[in-house]
């Protein structure tokens, strides 16, 4: 029996968000609204030192003067920033020594998400710093990491225990006043992860954090800071799923990566926030600022699989400051139904012999809009800069859109820049070829789409590749070209 | 007084010299209101991110030339494509020069906008076409519309082909310290008509000239329009060239832009495909030096199925020059089977030169083939070395390679004499004598 386009469409539309459930845990939630008192209260709640409080206030004051950016190719009802509660922490605090002490309901949440903690602890060799709403509730494998001198903890803990490191690096890559959402995040960030790899240390395991948005009406403002000292290596994983909610939830995270001389950071993301239902109702607004700084011979590699969120506004970038540094960006962005994604990267070449690679795959289905927006900038002193960019879009169905906005600015004659973009659908001849070889249409599409995204999927660490494919499944396999 | 206020207040003086009862005047009045509202574009606007008009806005331009100037043919002969016979529409400081021109009404109309606007026999055509494809929102276009009075008017009826190519030349004599020119052209090719146009803006002195031109082109079914823009002006001449093209079924419109000169050049080239099986082609060669600035802004709006568009822009940037390329392709939902191709290749030959490029795709249809490619690089060291081992001096070898780089744009030039001329301009610009023509 042939699998028709109609059937596929239907199947796709009826596929509900698999991970949409809500865990009922008593939360300690702040009243809605944002003012200096709230900022101070957040800081106090986190038992932060004074310099941190004033750092937040500085950001808040700058934020008040800023206007929400409107240049992105996305359309949405702007969130009312006074109608959001800026702090929410699971109540049955504070620290657990073992998993047994963790709220069983919470553990159940993770089980349903298929990330059973104990299993991961043993099998995957992954230390998971779980952020449920805004507070770290469990940190594992800390001991193994501590032996190597690696610090991997929540950022609030880091502020308390390693103030010199945080003070030195926080806001150096993404300054408080960088943009509207970064400023907001700097003022109210509730928690996040901090990671420091000492000189010459190769982190023995993949570090990962899972983010969830759980409490209705609370925005999630994560702050991540990864510092790889000279000659070190770390691979950092971040993955998100969020329960179904009808009202739009705001997520404005900031991620800062610092790779000192000869260091390498590999940062992988699988993002599957609730994308809204098939009528385009609900869904998460994801406004993220991610940026990495490369010193001499350093390398930063961003890999992302974006399948969720109603609105995605995200440009993981690399500032190639040191000579011979390398920046990479691999991305798959899948949009379906009424999702809108405006994502891409910035590669800023400042040092000599810097290299960057951009591979972006956009897949749009349903009534979604998918945009790639990228900047490749070669400074006048960046001799022998090299960039290769490729952005391919795949359109499925007749109601979606794919857009490319690549900006290339070159001020040095020794630069070599290549940019390529294509837009296409799955060719009938490709499907026919597969059919002819006995592969049914649905499988053929999955095969072709997998091939289309393979360059990026290949870049994900093993542990993540499986989950990434699982997440892509919903959007990818059910669509037809 | 700033330039905007000066322009707005000059509109009253302008009204004394035109027929305010003509329906076109309503369009002008509407346009000046629009310009007053919007003013000059600034760098905060996405479309003007890389090109600033601030320096030009500070110049106290004369809006109406005070005297009528004449030129001797022998003095300006070299700016004409004199090797072949052509129709000529020539303007000196914005005023039509009947002495240098050669117009016709023999089966086709190759004449003046002012005549078309004043004579009743053209009224019907003006009503149907004037300001119909030009933007009513883009501020510089509305500024031109407000002051539209003179320019070229070309009407080729069904199944006609003019006997020879048409040259449109604008000379600026520099009798004014600084002059703003706003020519307005209307070109209509009816069914099966075919025509070739060569356009050039030429300043004859070092005085400041700013030209804000608008050209509307309508290509009906099966019509073929070949438009060549030669931009090799002096270093105090700036040009903002707005071209709007509306195409019907099976028509072909090709615009070649050769930008070698001028202080600031902005080319806004807009194609609107209002039919099926249309071919829209735009090609450009840009070779810049000194502090020149050229901004190519193209838009192809695919509104109907089964159409094609091709873009091929090559740029060579030396000294402190700045090149901008912003190509935008929009494919509407209905425009299935669109084939849109865009390419932009650039060579930087100086450390002080800058290139900003933004090839942009906005696609709403799924069964399309759209691609763009963009490269920035240098001359191949090995190729240079190879030519040097064959006894070709480095400078000539580099020029040869640059020739080769630009050549596939030149290939589609259909007037051989023009191609030779462009070749000489390129050689001249690169400062070499090659002793052969490609």
Q: What is the pLDDT of residues B138-185, one digit of tens each?
A: 889 999 998 888 899 999 999 989 889 999 999 888 777 788 889 999
Return the exposure string of B153-192: e unless at least 16 CB atoms fall within 10 Å of the residue's CB, then b: bbbbeeebebebbbbbbbbbbbbbeebbbbbbbbbbbbbb
Residues B253 and B374 in one domain: no
Percentage of the residues of chain A whose pLDDT score is greater than 70: 74
B337 assigned to some structural domain? yes
Closest residue in B to A71 (Cα) is: B46
Q: What is the mean pLDDT of residues A360-368?
A: 87
As a whole number, mean pLDDT of residues A408-425 equals: 87
How sure is the predictor about A479, in pLDDT bands with cuts at 50, 70 and 90? low
> Percent of chain A scored above 90 by pLDDT?
18
B356 domain residue, yes or no: yes
User: What is the pLDDT confidence band of residue A91, given thresholds at 50, 70 and 90?
Assistant: very low
Which of B349, B378, B407 is a domain's end point? B378
Residues B229 and B372 in one domain: no
How far apart CA B83 and CA B102 sit, in angstroms, is 15
A246 assigned to some structural domain? yes
Q: How many domains is chain B built from?
A: 3
CB distance A292 to A321 below 8 Å: no
- Helix (H), strand (E) at residue B201: strand B194-203
DSSP state of B256: E
Which of B378, B394, B426 marks a domain boundary?
A: B378
Does residue B353 share a domain with residue B229?
Answer: no
- Write down the pLDDT at residue A437: 93
Q: Cβ A419–B366 below 8 Å, yes or no?
A: no
A123 in a domain, yes or no?
yes
Least CB–CB distance from A405: residue in B358, B366, B378: B358
| Secondary element (H or E) of residue A285 | strand A284-294
Q: What is the pLDDT of residues A49-78, one digit of tens each?
A: 888 888 888 888 888 888 888 887 888 777
Full-prediction pTM beyond 0.90? no
CB contact under 8 A, A405 and B360: yes
Smallest CA–CA distance, residue B350 to chain A, in Å, is 6
Q: What pLDDT is attached to residue B187?
A: 92
Spatial distance between the Cα atoms of B336 and B302, rounded to a whole number of angstroms: 9
What's the domain range around A174?
5-476
Integer Cα distance of B14 and B146 in angstroms? 9
- Residues spanned by the domain of B357: 283-294+309-378
Is the predicted pLDDT of residue A287 greater than 90, yes or no? no
B418 and B314 belong to one structural domain: no
Instruction: Report the gap between the CA of B311 and the closest CA in chain A (Å).
Output: 14
Q: Are residues B364 and B393 in the same domain?
A: no
Q: B119 and B215: one domain?
A: yes
Check A410 against B371: CB less than 8 A apart: no
Cα–Cα dist A41/A47, whole Å = 10
Residue from the list A397, A404, A408 with its beta carbon closest to the beta carbon of B357: A408
Closest CA to A367 of A131, A13, A51: A13
Chain pair A-B, CB pairs under 8 angstroms: 111
Q: Are B309 and B277 in contact (CB under 8 A)?
A: no
pLDDT of residue A185: 87
Which residues 367-426 of A have a C-beta within 8 angstroms of B? 380, 393, 395-425
β-sheet bridge partners, residue B370: A423, B340
Residues of chain A contacting residue B357, judged by C-beta atoms under 8 Å apart: 407-409
What's the structural domain count of chain A?
A: 1
Question: Residue A140 pLDDT > 50, yes or no?
Answer: yes
Enumerate the residues of chain B whose CB falls inside 8 A of the CB of residue A418. Answer: 373-375
* pLDDT confidence of residue A229: 92
pLDDT attached to residue A126 = 47
Helices B3-15 and B139-146, axial angle in degrees (round to 10) = 30
Half-sphere exposure of B369 (CA within 13 A, CB side): 9
The predicted structure's pLDDT at residue B65: 76
Same domain, B355 and B414: no
Coil, strand, or helix at residue B56? helix
B318 plus B362 within the same structural domain:
yes
Of the listed ranges A120-124, A173-177, B292-296, B404-408, the one predicted with least confidence: A120-124
Q: Over 70: is that where the pLDDT of A242 sits?
A: no
Indicate whether B267 and B360 sit together in one domain: no
Within a domain: residue B206?
yes
ipTM: 0.78
Pairwise CA distance, residues B277 & B91, whole Å: 36
Query: Same domain, yes or no, for B168 and B52?
Result: yes
R_g of chain B computed on alpha carbons: 21
pLDDT value at A197 more than 60: yes
Dist. CA B244–CA A239, nearest whole Å: 49
* Cβ atoms within 10 Å, residue A173: 21
**Cα–Cα distance measured from residue B329 to residue B271, given in angstroms and rounded to the nearest whole number:** 10
Cross-chain Cβ contact B362/A401 below 8 Å: yes
In a domain, A481, yes or no: no
Confirm if B252 and B221 have CB atoms less than 8 A apart.
no
A368 to chain B: closest CA residue:
B364
Residue B301 lies in a domain: no
Average pLDDT over residues A210-216: 48
More confident residue, A222 or A112: A222
| Composition of chain A by helix, strand, coil, percent to 5 | 25, 35, 40
In the three-class reduction of DSSP (H, G, I as helix; E, B as strand; rest coil), residue A160 is classed as helix
Residue B302 placed within a domain:
no
Average predicted confidence (pLDDT) for chain A: 77
B197 & B327 share domain? no
Q: Where are the beta strands (DSSP E) in A96-158?
A: 127-132, 135-139, 151-154
Contact present, A310 and A280 (Cβ < 8 Å) = yes
pLDDT in tens, A221-237: 888 899 999 999 998 88
Give the residue, A89 or A148, on which the prediction is more confident.
Answer: A148
Structure token digits, residue B203: 């300043």
Q: What is the dihedral angle through the alpha carbons of A360, A365, A368, A369, rounded to the nearest 10 degrees?
A: 30
Distance from CA of A422 to the nearest CA of B (A): 4
CB B40 within 8 A of CB B2: no
Do B68 and B153 lie in a common domain?
A: yes
Give the per-residue pLDDT at A363: 87
User: How far, in Å, CA of B172 to CA of B84, rounded?
Assistant: 24
B182 vs A2, higher pLDDT: B182
Q: What share of chain B in percent tops pLDDT 90?
A: 32
């Amino acid at each position: 029996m042939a699998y028709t386009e109609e059937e596929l469409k239907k199947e796709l539309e009826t596929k509900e968000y698999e991970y949409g459930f809500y865990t009922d845990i008593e939360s300690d939630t702040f009243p809605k609204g944002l003012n200096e008192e709230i900022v101070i209260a957040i800081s106090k709640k986190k038992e932060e030192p004074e310099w941190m409080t004033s750092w937040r206030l500085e950001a808040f004051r700058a934020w008040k003067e800023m206007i929400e950016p409107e240049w992105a190719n996305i359309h949405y009802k702007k969130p009312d920033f006074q109608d959001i509660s800026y702090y929410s922490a699971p109540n049955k605090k504070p620290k657990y020594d073992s998993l047994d002490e963790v709220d069983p309901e919470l553990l159940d949440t993770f089980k349903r998400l298929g990330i059973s903690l104990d299993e991961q602890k043993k099998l995957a060799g992954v230390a998971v710093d779980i952020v449920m709403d805004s507070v770290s509730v469990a940190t594992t494998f800390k001991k193994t990491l501590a032996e190597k001198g690696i610090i991997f903890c929540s950022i609030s803990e880091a502020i308390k225990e390693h103030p010199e490191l945080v003070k030195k690096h926080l806001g150096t890559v993404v300054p408080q006043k960088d943009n509207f959402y970064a400023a907001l995040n700097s003022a109210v960030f509730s928690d996040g992860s901090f990671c420091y790899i000492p000189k010459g240390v190769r982190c023995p395991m993949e570090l990962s954090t899972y983010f969830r948005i759980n409490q209705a009406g609370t925005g999630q403002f994560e702050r991540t800071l990864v510092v790889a000292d000279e000659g070190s290596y770390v691979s950092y994983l971040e993955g998100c799923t969020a329960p179904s909610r009808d009202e739009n939830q705001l997520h404005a995270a900031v991620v800062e990566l610092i790779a000192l001389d000869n260091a390498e950071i590999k940062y992988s993301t699988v993002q599957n926030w609730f994308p809204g239902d098939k009528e385009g109702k609900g869904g998460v607004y994801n406004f993220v600022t991610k940026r990495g700084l490369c010193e001499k011979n350093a390398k930063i590699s961003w890999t992302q699989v974006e399948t969720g969120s109603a609105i995605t506004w995200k440009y993981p970038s690399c500032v190639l400051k040191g000579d011979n540094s390398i920046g990479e960006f691999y991305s798959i962005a899948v949009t379906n139904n009424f999702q809108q994604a405006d994502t891409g990267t910035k590669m800023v070449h400042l040092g000599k012999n810097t290299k960057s690679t951009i591979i972006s795959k956009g897949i749009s289905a349903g009534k979604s809009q998918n945009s790639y927006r990228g900047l490749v900038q070669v400074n006048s002193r960046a001799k022998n800069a090299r960039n290769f960019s490729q952005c391919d879009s795949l359109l499925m169905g007749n109601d979606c859109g794919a857009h490319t906005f690549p900006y290339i600015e070159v001020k040095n004659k020794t630069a070599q820049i290549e940019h390529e973009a294509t837009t296409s659908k799955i060719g009938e001849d490709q499907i026919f070829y597969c059919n002819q070889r006995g592969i049914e249409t649905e499988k053929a599409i999955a095969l072709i789409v997998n091939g289309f995204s393979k360059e990026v999927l290949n870049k994900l660490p093993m542990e993540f590749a499986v989950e990434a494919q699982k997440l892509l499944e919903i959007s990818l396999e059910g669509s037809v070209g | 007084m700033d330039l905007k206020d000066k322009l707005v207040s000059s509109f009253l003086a302008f009204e004394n010299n035109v027929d305010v009862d003509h329906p076109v005047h309503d369009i002008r009045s509407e346009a000046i209101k629009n310009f007053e509202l919007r003013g000059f574009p600034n760098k905060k606007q996405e479309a003007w991110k890389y090109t600033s008009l601030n320096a030009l806005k500070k110049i106290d331009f004369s809006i109406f030339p005070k005297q009528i100037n004449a030129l001797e043919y022998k003095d300006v002969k070299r700016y004409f494509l004199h090797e072949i016979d052509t129709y000529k529409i020539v303007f000196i400081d914005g005023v039509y020069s009947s002495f240098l021109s050669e117009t016709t009404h023999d089966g086709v109309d190759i004449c003046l906008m002012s005549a078309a606007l004043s004579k009743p026999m053209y009224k019907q055509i003006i009503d149907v076409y004037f300001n119909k494809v030009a933007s009513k929102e883009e501020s510089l276009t509305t500024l031109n519309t407000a002051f539209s009075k003179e320019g070229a008017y070309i009407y080729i009826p069904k199944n006609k082909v003019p006997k020879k190519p048409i040259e449109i030349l604008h000379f600026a004599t520099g009798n004014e310290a600084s002059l703003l020119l706003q020519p307005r052209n209307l070109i209509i090719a009816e069914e099966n008509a075919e025509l070739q146009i060569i356009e050039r803006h030429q300043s004859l002195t070092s005085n400041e000239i700013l030209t804000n031109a608008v050209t509307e082109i309508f290509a009906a079914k099966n019509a073929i329009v070949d438009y060549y823009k030669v931009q090799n002006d002096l270093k105090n001449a700036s040009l903002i060239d707005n071209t709007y093209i509306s195409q019907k079924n099976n028509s072909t419109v090709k615009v070649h832009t050769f930008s070698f000169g001028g202080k600031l050049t902005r080319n806004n080239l807009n194609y609107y495909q209002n039919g099926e099986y249309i071919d829209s082609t735009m090609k450009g060669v840009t070779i810049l030096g000194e502090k020149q600035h050229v901004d190519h802004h193209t838009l192809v709006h695919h509104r109907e199925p089964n159409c094609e568009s091709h873009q091929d822009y090559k740029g060579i940037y030396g000294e402190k020059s700045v090149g901008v390329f912003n190509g935008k392709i929009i494919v509407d939902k209905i425009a299935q089977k669109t084939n849109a191709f865009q390419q932009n290749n650039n060579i930087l030959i100086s450390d002080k030169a800058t290139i900003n490029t933004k090839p942009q795709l906005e696609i709403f249809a799924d069964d399309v083939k759209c691609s763009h490619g963009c490269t920035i690089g240098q001359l191949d060291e090995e190729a240079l070395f190879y030519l040097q081992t064959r006894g070709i001096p480095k400078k000539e070898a580099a020029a040869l390679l640059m020739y080769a780089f630009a050549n596939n744009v030149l290939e589609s030039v259909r007037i051989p004499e023009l191609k030779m001329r462009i070749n000489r301009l390129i050689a001249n610009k690169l400062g070499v004598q090659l002793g052969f023509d490609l």
